[in-house]
Structure 1
């Protein structure tokens, strides 16, 4: 590899600059080769994004052969102490960066945990650990090989393990083994932990070393590439220590490792991921410490009362909260005063042009895991993480206004075509947009589109014309526009991303030409009836006509159907959409899932028939929607707010629609649009996810008192809507 940054040597072992390590571990005296003392002072935040992976391999990853030699040296110390009957070592575990296999090249930390039979309970460790450390120190210093490398600092006993190019400052910890024979902790273990801590007034996390074996197991399951990302984050952190000339709390290093694991778990879960996307995701999480609440339920959960009370106390404590996955009392992210410094540095790196060259900015990860959010915290989850704030909504409005002004005033100014009206649709207009997920639909009703047929044959040329005009006007409007290449020969929609100096982020747009089927009297029942009759006749006469093909013409009705609903119901829709996105991300390869609009309608239906009140329980509503998804094979859902069974032609058409293969979910604005789709989409995959989610903490009030769904019928009939329909021969009704 050539030298691609000044001062970097492809032949040397470049890694962590010595200053941060010296400040964190002042007793370290590493015996390094001369070229390794001249480590690169290049800040990682200045490394081009496309070079980050090369940077990790060249400068951060330790040599495998060096680690083998370190292992041999540590094993020799372990064997020496295990053979001493006075210490009575029953088992040994390796912890710290060394045990988690996240060692940086050069200097790193580690622990050698000695589970001793002399400690029968947690309290013994508190009372007698110093005495046992004295004995261990004597044993090591009596050995010629170790007497110069052992150092005692108050209650710490450290051994320097060094070979050329690599050094581990190994902390020796005699501890109580709470797991005994079993490898998996029971609720009783954590009950004993809490009781013992109360008795001896131990600090939170003081006995976390007793669970080192579980920490090892927790990190073993993650791929090597994720540990490369951890090395990059740790290296950045250590460089900051040098920059600040202060020593930060040791748990923060572990907190950053856990936060990196969390980012990958929630946003990626693939072994071959983009390092730049990963680091951007971690930095974005670090930049919002007052929202961070990260924890796992691998070793403990909400079932036991003692553990549950402790967990709920932790979850309600000031953020950031990053719980040790092996010790529920140990919030390793609690040093909130230090996080503000980290947050500022993280934002600075995020804003750097070098990192912004990444194609994909970051993974879709929230600062708190959804699956294990307790039921009574769901409303706060929606408010904190899903509901957009006013700043975000104003950014969307600004972006929409820019495009609408262009379409009205500029796009067709040199032709006879008139823009009859522009309707804002999509989640932004409905009031169900998700936080930091900017998208907007703009429907342009053109005078030249005077029928469904004309829309079918001519819309692609208008899409191309809008794109052409938008490209020509970019400089005049000071826009940065990135167009999405359509896979269709005749695209029906113009999809693009807008970037502007007035926006803090980009906004994704869909611009759709449309025929003004409802005219200017969209609220008039007669106008709607005529529009629907033409639509259904066209649908019946053409085999190639797909249901919902012209639903864009009824965007106003779609928008109004959702927009007029209570605020809390819109919050539930946001929750369902977030759940859907998580399910979608898990599908590898990407599956053809039902449209999100189907889930929105199903949420409205669940609320209408199960609650109907503004003050409903969010967990119950969420549970009900999942229950309907699970029972998708029976679903038949429709509304009669815009069309109904009164007129003969529409009655016959609707009866045909609702006798189709289930699930049937009719668009309340377009009777031809069955967003349930029968076999068209992979409802079975969504139903499988819904079943798995029934074990989520979202649906647990108490261990033996799960959240129950509302009683909602899965099949809606004309009779349930008040229509007097007599049985159809050979039909369902």
Structure 2
């Protein structure tokens, strides 16, 4: 019966009559497994007592109770006393597998009534494979027609006995998983050690769930040619596939097709098309909606071993090229609009439109499409004019953008501002060019720096005017940081690629802390953590290639020591000119932590007691026990140590021969 043409009401009958193995074949295989188990237990390494069988565990679809008629798989995991650790399992298997094959070839002459054995070339190293099948039709037609066209593919795998003898219902020792996490380099490479747990996870489920698994596996086989109304379950799998493709999830290598579909995920285009096609048959025919299940999440950073941090960043945090291309196209659309359309009938001119934010710096995280554009306008001739007139320009840009979208077939959704005099225009942009939406912040600003060129040093006059305004009017520090967007961007963008990857990791950690605490506390800005990361690298490594775990550990160490921090840079401003010199000396004597924006001396993103650094420090201290900071050294494990980084910068340490009498 064709699954695609089966009505929802006939699915149970389809599973029972067409997918479930016959009782005769099941009994024949059970008898063969008994004698196969005996043959393997008698087997040791040739001529020695080096390898003794501790026990044999049955795994695969046959053992889990989800085998399909016509062909299924079974695993025999042979736990040997010569493997004393996960690392031992990687070596010394060739000799053992050779001896096992010799023993099985002898046993295979008489595998059991109605059965024959055929060895096959292994698809992977460290495994012995053979097929147990019903005998030739001509010889066995009088025995049982139900045995015909059945087969079981066996994998015999030698393994380290990580679990030992577990009592029913008991859990493994947590140390087993700690050792596993320290030892593996490829996902699932020691899954054979946990065969009994994998088997029991499925085999203990209700019979009808196992029937649903059979149905999904059969669907999978039809596609590739190789809870409990069945129609609802199958429809759920069909709808989940496109989500998994979008999330970039991959198949777990050692799981049976069909079983992992109900929990993990695949993202094959062909599978997605088939799932959509079959959804018509299952979902519409039954008239029922699929269960609302959340797609799986990426691996937790807390349990990621130190040697896999670079892989974690690449797989889960770094945006793909498609995402970056989407951002580039969206930014170009908005910039062209601002330059050529927005003020074409006005005396106001767009002097330049500068890309800012994490996307422009090269530190954007995956799963976040956002872009900042700072628009420098000719009519904003001072810092004061930026405060007084920017709300009018925000409103004008929005008005012009609403007109522009009609001519360009753009979809623009504006985000309402909570400010009476808005300082930023926030909106979401969609177009025919883009496959996804992009969130924008457009900020009008005074062009304090003027036209820049590579190697440009900022004008001291720009900082002197800013400092004078802050002293006379009480304007908050950092109020005009948008005027220095180019300097902020270049400070990060020019750094080595691996440092920007470390910044991504720190930002991901920060977001985890933020989600845990919101709305309880006001944490320091992310920019403060970015600057701490740059400082940790400058003072502790300075190399383009460095150990990511050490860098991450150093940043957390600085967060923990927040009450001592006094950090600044002199790349754009320094102590040479008054009144900048006096102002900087005042800034670095403020309540700690002090972290000055390298582009804007009035911007202290450390903030003293303005933000809840103590909560972030508490989180950082708890994270020191993470597996991110465990390092294997021979047979033992050591904690990753931070780089030696000073927590206080002084004018003297930056090359200025000035030593204030207080605060440093």
- After TM superposition, the score normalised by the length of structure 1 is 0.59
Is the aligned partner of 1:709 residue 2:639? no
Distance 1:486 1:419 in 2: 23
RMSD, aligned α-carbons: 4.9
* 1:479-517 alpha-carbon deviations (Å, 9 max, x no partner): 111111111111111111111111111111110000001
- Could you tell me how far 1:347 is from its partner in structure 2? 8.9
Residue in 2 that maps onto 1:423: 354
* 1:543-581 alpha-carbon deviations (Å, 9 max, x no partner): 3x1110000000011111111111111111111112222
Instruction: Map 1:587-666 to 2 at 5 A.
Output: 587-589=517-519, 591-666=521-596
Q: 2:629 aligns with which of 661, 680, 699?
A: 699
Residue in 2 that maps onto 1:208: 197
Unmatched 5+ stretches in structure 1: 1-15, 30-107, 110-120, 124-152, 155-175, 194-200, 217-230, 250-256, 258-277, 293-318, 325-330, 355-360
Distance 2:456 2:615 in 1: 39
Is the aligned partner of 1:501 residue 2:429? no
Q: Using a 3 Å threshold, how does the CA distance of structure 1 residues 554 and 189 change in structure 2: closer, same or farther?
A: closer
The answer to whether the Cα contact below 8 Å between 2:309 and 2:549 also exists between their aligned partners in 1 is: yes
Distance 1:667 1:428 in 2: 19
Residue in 1 that maps onto 2:659: 726
Distance 1:322 1:624 in 2: 37
The answer to whether the Cα contact below 8 Å between 1:519 and 1:527 also exists between their aligned partners in 2 is: no
Instruction: Map 1:519-598 to 2 at 5 A.
Output: 519-521=450-452, 528-543=459-474, 545-589=475-519, 591-598=521-528
- Could you tell me how far 1:591 is from its partner in structure 2? 3.2
Is the aligned partner of 1:455 residue 2:386? yes
Q: 2:323 aligns with which of 379, 392, 400?
A: 392
Q: 1:320 aligns with which of 252, 256, 260?
A: 252
Distance 1:435 1:26 in 2: 47
Q: 2:173 aligns with which of 169, 186, 211?
A: 186
Q: 2:620 aligns with which of 666, 680, 690?
A: 690
Residue in 2 that maps onto 1:114: none
Q: 1:471 aligns with which of 402, 406, 428?
A: 402
Residue in 2 that maps onto 1:401: 332
Distance 2:248 2:419 in 1: 45
Instruction: Map 1:283-302 to 2 at 5 A.
Output: 283=241, 286-287=244-245, 291-292=249-250
The answer to whether the Cα contact below 8 Å between 2:249 and 2:267 also exists between their aligned partners in 1 is: no
Residue in 1 that maps onto 2:268: 340
* 1:177-209 alpha-carbon deviations (Å, 9 max, x no partner): 94449944226878999xxxxxxx996654226
* 1:117-151 alpha-carbon deviations (Å, 9 max, x no partner): xxxx989xxxxxxxxxxxxxxxxxxxxxxxxxxxx
Residue in 1 that maps onto 2:442: 511
- Could you tell me how far 1:520 is from its partner in structure 2? 2.1
Q: Using a 3 Å threshold, how does the CA distance of structure 1 residues 616 and 211 change in structure 2: closer, same or farther?
A: same
Q: Using a 3 Å threshold, how does the CA distance of structure 1 residues 466 and 209 change in structure 2: closer, same or farther?
A: closer
Instruction: State which structure, 1 or 2, has the greater radius of gyration over its C-alpha atoms.
Output: 2
- Could you tell me how far 1:364 is from its partner in structure 2? 10
Q: Using a 3 Å threshold, how does the CA distance of structure 1 residues 682 and 527 change in structure 2: closer, same or farther?
A: closer
The answer to whether the Cα contact below 8 Å between 1:494 and 1:510 also exists between their aligned partners in 2 is: yes
Q: Using a 3 Å threshold, how does the CA distance of structure 1 residues 509 and 190 change in structure 2: closer, same or farther?
A: closer
The answer to whether the Cα contact below 8 Å between 2:244 and 2:295 also exists between their aligned partners in 1 is: no
Q: Using a 3 Å threshold, how does the CA distance of structure 1 residues 243 and 726 change in structure 2: closer, same or farther?
A: closer
- Could you tell me how far 1:383 is from its partner in structure 2? 2.0
Distance 1:556 1:689 in 2: 33
- Could you tell me how far 1:242 is from its partner in structure 2? 8.1
Distance 2:454 2:507 in 1: 29
Distance 2:177 2:194 in 1: 12
Distance 1:610 1:214 in 2: 53
Q: 1:438 aligns with which of 354, 369, 383?
A: 369
Q: Using a 3 Å threshold, how does the CA distance of structure 1 residues 446 and 573 change in structure 2: closer, same or farther?
A: same
Distance 2:294 2:468 in 1: 46
The answer to whether the Cα contact below 8 Å between 1:122 and 1:207 also exists between their aligned partners in 2 is: no
- Could you tell me how far 1:332 is from its partner in structure 2? 5.4
The answer to whether the Cα contact below 8 Å between 1:386 and 1:575 also exists between their aligned partners in 2 is: yes
Q: Using a 3 Å threshold, how does the CA distance of structure 1 residues 485 and 521 change in structure 2: closer, same or farther?
A: same
Q: Using a 3 Å threshold, how does the CA distance of structure 1 residues 577 and 23 change in structure 2: closer, same or farther?
A: farther
The answer to whether the Cα contact below 8 Å between 2:356 and 2:486 also exists between their aligned partners in 1 is: yes
The answer to whether the Cα contact below 8 Å between 1:584 and 1:590 also exists between their aligned partners in 2 is: no
Q: Using a 3 Å threshold, how does the CA distance of structure 1 residues 341 and 445 change in structure 2: closer, same or farther?
A: closer
- After TM superposition, the score normalised by the length of structure 2 is 0.64
3-state DSSP class of the match of 1:401? helix
* 1:250-275 alpha-carbon deviations (Å, 9 max, x no partner): xxxxxxx9xxxxxxxxxxxxxxxxxx
The answer to whether the Cα contact below 8 Å between 2:19 and 2:214 also exists between their aligned partners in 1 is: no
Distance 1:659 1:215 in 2: 66
3-state DSSP class of the match of 1:207? helix
Residue in 2 that maps onto 1:370: 301
Q: Using a 3 Å threshold, how does the CA distance of structure 1 residues 539 and 202 change in structure 2: closer, same or farther?
A: closer
Q: Using a 3 Å threshold, how does the CA distance of structure 1 residues 20 and 723 change in structure 2: closer, same or farther?
A: farther
- Could you tell me how far 1:284 is from its partner in structure 2? 6.1
Residue in 2 that maps onto 1:77: none
- Could you tell me how far 1:590 is from its partner in structure 2? 5.5
